[in-house]
Structure 1
Amino acid sequence: MKILTVVGARPQFIKAAAVSNIIRKEHQEVLVHTGQHYDENMSKVFFDELKIPKPDYNLEVGSGNHGHQTGTMLIKLEEIYQKENPDLVLVYGDTNSTLAGALCASKLLIPVAHIEAGLRSFNKNMPEEQNRILTDHISKYLFVPTISAVNNLNNEGIKNSVYNVGDVMFDAVLNFKKLAKQKDIILDQIGVEKDKFILTTIHRAENTNDINRLKNIVQALNECGKNVVLPLHPRTKKYMSDYGLSFNKNIKVIEPIGYLEMINLEMNSEKIVTDSGGVQKEAFFMKKPCITMRDETEWVETVENGWNRVVGTDKSKILDNIINFYPQNQQEEIFGDGHAAEKILEVLNL
């Protein structure tokens, strides 16, 4: 079988690292990178350090408004699909690359497999939520990471070809944890000690593009009284400058880092404060308390299990949880057994 895989953003590179090598044991894969993430530290370094096969195509779409970005992908992907004539198109997650990859395939009557299907934040103002819903409803194979994702699809009338295989990001963490431990030098480079810093990521448009939300986040971090390590996303950096916001000396701002270094920082942190979906899960995998600076989360299991607090951008709630939040529950096995990629292959081989 010829499988064409579409990726374009950092979380998708990580998922592809877990899945592509498994697929290529038995099938031909054509890998297309849309170029949605084009920064060297957020794209090429991931392919290098995770040994992801080099993309067969790089569309170099770059940033832009949603319509322009998605439309450009559709035009370029259509040419590649017609040239390669794949038996199946594989997409990950909830980005514009996901939607474009799936929609283009559907228009050409090529079956779509969606990895990380069924997630819902129930906030349709989020572009990611729109992308998830649309992709799920045109996919032939829906590979879901959790029971709640199965239930979400069932509630929308999608009951066939839904497979709860577990989370491929859990596969990736288990696969790369040993390599990540070799990156301990990053703690010395930053100047922090194990279990004595808060790891933070801020990148979601709803936070960066709103001066009040971003200001609340910055003030909470500045006033928390703890060392904070912040790999600064290019978008966040731009809006910080536009809004005239700055960090105090307790915030150690660093450039975006590779996946292995990020895993290392997660393993060695005291807590994690983020607006990222993927980092919420990684915090759970690392058994670290997570404080989510969003108004909702698609990873409801992490909240229900007591390891994730959703606080929005309320300054007092962020501060209170940085200082006082320590999970009381034992973690449950909610993301599978670390063999999601093998289970996906088994389904595709049927």
Structure 2
Amino acid sequence: MNGRPSSTGASADSSTDRSVDAATDTADRPTALLVVGTRPELVKMAPVCRALSDADWRVRLVHTGQHYDEALSDTFFETLGLPTPETNLGVGSGSHAAQTARTMVGVERLLDGSPTTDANSPADADPPTVVLAQGDTNAVVGTALATCKTPVPFAHVEAGLRSGDRAMPEEVNRIVADQVADLLFAPTDEARDSLRREGVADRPTQQVHVTGNTVVDACLAHRTVAERESSVLAALGLTPGEFVLATIHRPRNTDDHPRLRRIVGALDGAPFPVVLPAHPRTRRAMESAGIRPTGALRVTDPLDYLDFLRLLDTARVVVTDSGGVQEEASALETPCLTVRPHTERPETVAAGVNELVSPAELAGRLRTVFETDAESMVGATDLYGDGRAGERIVGLLSAAFGVDSGRETTVSEVTE
């Protein structure tokens, strides 16, 4: 891989030469530092983590603490095949600027060997071979900005997604992370083409690869396990194919109380059961707006991964504003209605398995899809890959850093 040219002068900038080749001799065994901040990031990074371990990489998993709560138990990590994070950066809640800044400081300390805010964090004087982050959260942009000012290369998993909506903080995070990344793993050709349009793929210091999305890896790996081990259907009194699953958590939908009332009203007025595992943001917003469902809608606490996967796999329709759920629904052949004006997963809309709807349209469209259109909104299971994205990503990492992973890597590559 072509890294950035090393500075030949004695300026301070020479300390931040980010040639990938320069990182290969940090240790005999390559080390990947994986930084995550939310539950979806853990789910999507798990296939990469497992593939790294299988390829004899040393894995260091770090949680920023953005969504670190009691639900993230040892069982959660065991279910996904993840090690317990070696440290929690303690980022917590706060404004976008505060979360990003705390992440930057924490990651910088990890990379230069300084103590972190976590007293239990092990000392590690040697920098990692590469830093990876996934998706579009403040954890990602903070990690990207901190890493790009060091000699350690940064790899962005799920690169190139674009909704065209700069009002979404996640869109800004994606753009910034992609601009400074050294390796970019795009889930689809369309994501790669977005990077091309932005000029990212034309730079000799960056590599762009189409790998598929690791969320499909996670879905397919745990689908049978969820069917066997989850008892959520019985616990909620649900019959496969006869209910709707809903997830609503975007600030656009929760912070605008009239909008939230329309969404909840559409779900609560349905002539079939609707289950909403409530994100804390959603529950607080409903309480603040005085919204109390009394009809078809059943609001539950957040579910563990296997229970949620089981509901998504057996629902007649899913209503969501989540990007990841749109991908999971296509892989599991569950028709999807997305309550947003834009999506960074346009492949699902083009394939006819996902529709963008407004709160005003939701009630009517949900009933029509449930009763008549559901069968026509399935069949595009391979939009985001075949369940081997994690293996491909690790094969590419191993190739970039001269590691014999024992894996054949067959992916698209864009370099000039």
Among all aligned residue pairs of Structure 1 and Structure 2, give the percentage whose two residues are the same amino acid.
39
Q: Does 1:324 align with 2:353?
A: no
Q: Which amino acid aligns with 2:362?
A: I
Q: CA deviation at 1:212?
A: 1.9
Q: Which amino acid aligns with 2:149?
A: K
Report if the CA contact (8 A) 2:248-2:322 is conserved. yes
Mapped to 1, the partners of 2:75 and 2:323 lie a distance apart of 21
Per the alignment, residue 233 of structure 2 pairs with 187
Where in structure 2 are the equivalents of 1:140-151 lying within 5 Å? 140-151=182-193
Q: Does 1:301 align with 2:350?
A: no
Mapped to 2, the partners of 1:43 and 1:301 lie a distance apart of 34
Q: CA deviation at 1:184?
A: 4.3
Per the alignment, residue 82 of structure 2 pairs with 52
SS in 1 for 2:326: helix
Per the alignment, residue 100 of structure 1 pairs with 142
Q: CA deviation at 1:213?
A: 1.6
SS in 1 for 2:144: helix
Q: CA deviation at 1:51?
A: 2.5
Mapped to 1, the partners of 2:207 and 2:39 lie a distance apart of 27
Mapped to 2, the partners of 1:289 and 1:42 lie a distance apart of 29
Report if the CA contact (8 A) 2:331-2:382 is conserved. no
Count of residue pairs brought into register by the alignment: 348
Report if the CA contact (8 A) 1:8-1:37 is conserved. yes
Q: CA deviation at 1:109?
A: 3.1
Cα–Cα, structure 1 residues 294 and 149, in superposed 2: closer, same or farther, change >3 Å?
same
Over residues 245-276 of structure 1, what are the superposed CA-to-partner deviations in whole Å (9 max), with x where a residue is unaligned?
11123111111011111110011111000011
Q: Which amino acid aligns with 1:222?
A: D
Q: Which amino acid aligns with 2:64?
A: T
Report if the CA contact (8 A) 1:183-1:264 is conserved. no
The one of 81, 88, 109 aligned to 1:79: 109
Report if the CA contact (8 A) 1:302-1:308 is conserved. yes
Relative to the length of structure 1, the TM-score reads 0.96
The one of 155, 158, 162 aligned to 1:116: 158
Q: Does 1:225 align with 2:271?
A: yes
Cα–Cα, structure 1 residues 270 and 90, in superposed 2: closer, same or farther, change >3 Å?
same
Structure 1: 5+ residue stretches without partners: none
Report if the CA contact (8 A) 1:199-1:266 is conserved. yes
Mapped to 1, the partners of 2:230 and 2:83 lie a distance apart of 26
Mapped to 2, the partners of 1:45 and 1:216 lie a distance apart of 37
Q: Does 1:265 align with 2:311?
A: yes
Mapped to 2, the partners of 1:185 and 1:87 lie a distance apart of 42
CA RMSD of aligned residues (A): 1.4
SS in 2 for 1:182: helix
Q: Does 1:91 align with 2:120?
A: no
SS in 2 for 1:107: coil
Over residues 222-248 of structure 1, what are the superposed CA-to-partner deviations in whole Å (9 max), with x where a residue is unaligned?
222221011011111111111111112
Q: Does 1:342 align with 2:391?
A: yes
Report if the CA contact (8 A) 1:42-1:257 is conserved. no
Report if the CA contact (8 A) 1:190-1:252 is conserved. no
Q: Which amino acid aligns with 1:130?
A: V
Q: CA deviation at 1:42?
A: 5.5
Mapped to 1, the partners of 2:286 and 2:381 lie a distance apart of 38
